[in-house]
Amino acid sequence: MGVSTAVPEPGVAVVTVDFPPVNALPVHGWYDLAAAVRAAGADPEVRCVVLRAEGRGFNAGVDLRELQRAAGHEALLGANRGCAEAFWAVQDCEVPVVAAVHGFCLGGGIGLVGCADAVVASDDATFGLPELDRGALGAATHLARLVPQHLMRTLYYTSRTVTAREMHRHGAVWRVLPRDELDDGAMELAREIAAKDGCLIRLAKAAINGIDPVDARRSYRFEQGFTFEAALTGVADRVRGTFRPAGEPPS
């Protein structure tokens, strides 16, 4: 349980997230993920990182139960900062990051995938931002990197999800594979990237980041301000109070 790193073959590091039951990460989980990705990218022997998860889905975002239990705003601030740290660790990783997505990719999961360099998904994967149903805002910055503007807005306002095949049609997903072939498919792409010269692939990553047309740090930080405004006005707690994890009966 937690975040672990393995190097299954030369040049490729695999960072695995495992926070049962649904990979909704507590504050420390986001920081642990950021540290693992940074360390993998800083390894001179690594030329590509695969980000994957165990369990029912790739990522369900922030652990809302942690926010519900906490008094004051410290947990919310921690989640905001922790998410940002993890997102930027993926985006700024010295080498390309391939996200291997299965099951649900929601909320903070969209942030991770939107910061990754490539995405391989299983045919059961779904992507979305249910933020408005969770008393939060954020990661529209990252969804806008994956789908066209009007689709991003529609998904954001409705909290709907889209399938991996729909994401593939929009060019956000490199390949859609059966669930039992996902890890192999992600490794195949990572292996192809890792076959490049290590110095040159790092230069390529830095160059591509440098020409990004949107300052994602500034954009996401702007979104986070509205998340905190929702908390200060009480609307976040009002909406979040109606949230229950799947399968949990009403109190």
Which pLDDT tens digit goes with each residue over 79-108?
A: 889 999 999 999 999 999 999 999 999 999
Task: Kindly state whether residue 202 falls inside one of the protein's structural domains.
Answer: yes
- Per-residue pLDDT band at 250 (split at 50, 70, 90): very low
Task: Kindly state whether residue 224 falls inside one of the protein's structural domains.
Answer: no
Task: Kindly state whether residue 191 falls inside one of the protein's structural domains.
Answer: no
Task: Kindly state whether residue 122 falls inside one of the protein's structural domains.
Answer: yes
Burial of 85: CB neighbours in 10 Å, binned 0-12, 13-18, 19+: middle
Task: Kindly state whether residue 61 falls inside one of the protein's structural domains.
Answer: yes
Task: Kindly state whether residue 232 falls inside one of the protein's structural domains.
Answer: no
| Range 49-54 average pLDDT | 98
Relative to beta strand 97-101, strand 118-122 is parallel
Which pLDDT tens digit goes with each residue over 115-132?
A: 999 999 999 999 999 999
35: domain CATH number is: 3.90.226.10
Which structural domain range is residue 63 located in?
2-179+198-210
| Range 5-31 average pLDDT | 96
* Domain count across the chain: 1
Task: Kindly state whether residue 78 falls inside one of the protein's structural domains.
Answer: yes
Task: Kindly state whether residue 243 falls inside one of the protein's structural domains.
Answer: no
